[in-house]
Amino acid sequence: MHILVLNVGSSSLKAAIIDPLNGQRMISLTAERLLDDPVAEFSDGSQVELKRTGHENALKSCLLALKDKLGDTEISGVGHRVVHGGEAFDRPVLLTDKVAMLIGEQSRLAPLHNPVNLRGIEIARELFPDHNHYAVFDTAFHQSMPRRAKTYALPKELMDKYGIRRYGFHGMSHQYVSRKAAEYLKDDLRNLRVISCHLGNGCSVAAIEFGRSVETSMGMTPLEGLVMGTRSGDLDPGIPTYLHDQAGLSLEEIDHLLNRQSGLAGLSGVGNDLRTILEAASNGNADCQLAVQVFTHRLRKYIGAYAAIMGGVDAIVFTGGIGENSKVIRHRAAQRLNFLGAIINEDANSILQLSEDQPVAEFSMRHSRVRLLAVKTDEQLAIARDCSKMIAKADEVNQLPQIPVAISARHIHLTRETLDTLYGEGHELKVRKWLSQPGQFAAEETVTVVGPRNQIERVRILGPLRSKDQVEISRTDEFFLGIDAPVRESGKVENTPGCKLIGPAGSVDIEDGVICAWRHIHMTPEDALRFGVQDRDVVEVSVGGAERSLTFGNVLIRVSEKYALEMHIDTDEGNAAEIQPGDTGVLMNTGSTGHLVKRKLSVVR
């Protein structure tokens, strides 16, 4: 299979024809300075004749030349990189007219990028009318960020009206390198907490907890966060006003300053290429020395912050032109992280060389609990793979069984030891009601859960007993109790808060175990086969039939012989979605027909 991958920028075009299985390029094309002095070259050394007749003509000429190069090679689809998916897209989609319109609507959030992406899409659809086109978004991977990470502290109405929130970028790269890292570590990404540092001309860090992005340093636009080639990154928001008042700069000038004249270029005074800056810094140039210090100081600050957000980290990944190639920056960023359990191996870092044959290399000591890795990113391949997945799924639509939906009220699972303390030595739970999951029951017994703010009485114990205590509450309960509990799958209680439990025979302070249950579907291995999913996949489910249809994103699949098919949501979600007895859900097709465009939901966390 071959996929044509296109990345159309305001002054450049990158294109490649890629085999998504092995990442091999049949041919690739890079065109630059499309507006003024266009040059375009294929990977075989041949060039495209381009005249100075504007962006659109240059794009057309490049794509026509590419079409020529294709000869008899069949392509299976065209993948377009789109910078901003806004609220509308949380995954890649088939490009329909409606999808193109929605991409256009996101232009207000990315006025420099989305309109040119869209122009590229239009031209490519004209030139390759018989192929399916797909849009893959820079922002989509970060849609899983919790609201607390997405939200700026601005007036709510204003943010709602103008779509102001943190979206994050470089999603394809963060997702690709975190998967590569998990492969290298021979572990499942869903068991790992990864901090991924994409350091190129644009730079961003992402906290990827058990496979999902939970924080990233770029915000509503790609200007926030790390120091970049020409972008300032984080800044006191008072500075633009100050510059306007004191230096008389217009909004346009300030925008230009922060995006094009700041960052490494602004600090160093010798341009944005880190190689030049490092060279000058070693030769004593004080501005360049400071530029390197500011760059890595900010990076280390984010690494520490993201470890705190995830309650620890298992691997820190460096990628992008700088992350892959600069031992100096990796050294500076990874030093003195021993307190986190990350111990750099300076020798390994210094000889590290990534290549096609060795796309991942480790530079932590053997006794380092946190693994330090450099990983070669490949965003074009990530796009090609997303497209091939959509092509493979194109026929599997909705002939699937309905999934019963149940509301899971607050409850608690206990260990033998805790039950002994709360109810007396050797107490046996009495079955009040058998639950739909085989062997599970709601017990007669209840406990009082005590938080720093309030307590909730008569929280039902579910049997049978388990090897860990676990208290599952809703967001509303959390705020009532005054506990900040993370959203977790059942059983994953590391780094979660504890609480006090009171029973008739005594009380226990549990150190951890309070979670907000991640909405999930229980199913058997046979169900999983029918749905084409695996244990711990994350899917989207439409609930409530045609009239009251609501889509729940971010639903976790749990597969076991012991389960019966059922989706569990918590009381808050059930109330918000007005779930009624007998309601069922349908597993949505995961990414081929364009109807995945996410509806605005009142129920999504």
Q: Which residues bind ligand AMP (CB under 6 A)?
A: 200-201, 229, 272-275, 320-322, 325-326
Residues 6 or more apart from 456 whose CB is under 8 A from it?
410, 448, 449, 473, 477, 480, 481
Rounded to the nearest whole angstrom, what is the least distance from the CB of residue 274 to ligand AMP in the complex? 3
Token digits of residue 11? 């002054």
Report the residue number, 221 or 470, with the smaller CB distance to ligand AMP: 221
DSSP codes of every residue in 232-297: --S--THHHHHHHHHH---HHHHHHHHHHS-HHHHHHSS-S-HHHHHHHHHTT-HHHHHHHHHHHH
Cis peptide before 404 (omega within 30 of 0): no
Token digits of residue 13? 């075009």
Q: Which residue's entry shows tokens 């924080």? A: 215
DSSP codes of every residue in 320-342: HHHHHH-HHHHHHHHTT-GGGTB
DSSP codes of every residue in 158-216: HHHHHT-S---S-HHHHHHHHHHHHHHTTS-GGG-EEEEEEESSSEEEEEEETTEEEEE
Rounded to the nearest whole angstrom, what is the least distance from the CB of residue 136 to ligand AMP in the complex? 18
Report the residue number, 168 or 320, with the smaller CB distance to ligand AMP: 320
Residues pairing with 286 in the sheet: none
Residues 6 or more apart from 505 whose CB is under 8 A from it?
421, 422, 423, 424, 427
Rounded to the nearest whole angstrom, what is the least distance from the CB of residue 372 to ligand AMP in the complex? 17
Report the residue number, 374 or 543, with the smaller CB distance to ligand AMP: 374
Report the residue number, 114 or 325, with the smaller CB distance to ligand AMP: 325
Rounded to the nearest whole angstrom, what is the least distance from the CB of residue 386 to ligand AMP in the complex? 20
CB 227 within 8 A of CB 155: no
Report the residue number, 326 or 496, with the smaller CB distance to ligand AMP: 326
How far apart (Å, rounded) are the C-alpha atoms in residues 122 and 433? 59
Rounded to the nearest whole angstrom, what is the least distance from the CB of residue 229 to ligand AMP in the complex? 5
- Residue 364 carries which DSSP code? B
Residues 148, 150, 154, 155: is their CA dihedral positive or negative? negative
Report the residue number, 98 or 275, with the smaller CB distance to ligand AMP: 275
Rounded to the nearest whole angstrom, what is the least distance from the CB of residue 166 to ligand AMP in the complex? 22
Report the residue number, 289 or 542, with the smaller CB distance to ligand AMP: 289
For the chain, the C-alpha Rg in angstroms (whole number) is 26
Rounded to the nearest whole angstrom, what is the least distance from the CB of residue 12 to ligand AMP in the complex? 12
Q: Which residues are catalytic?
A: 138
- Residue 47 carries which DSSP code? B
Q: Which residue is nearest to ligand AMP (CB)?
A: 321
How far apart (Å, rounded) are the C-alpha atoms in residues 321 and 70? 29
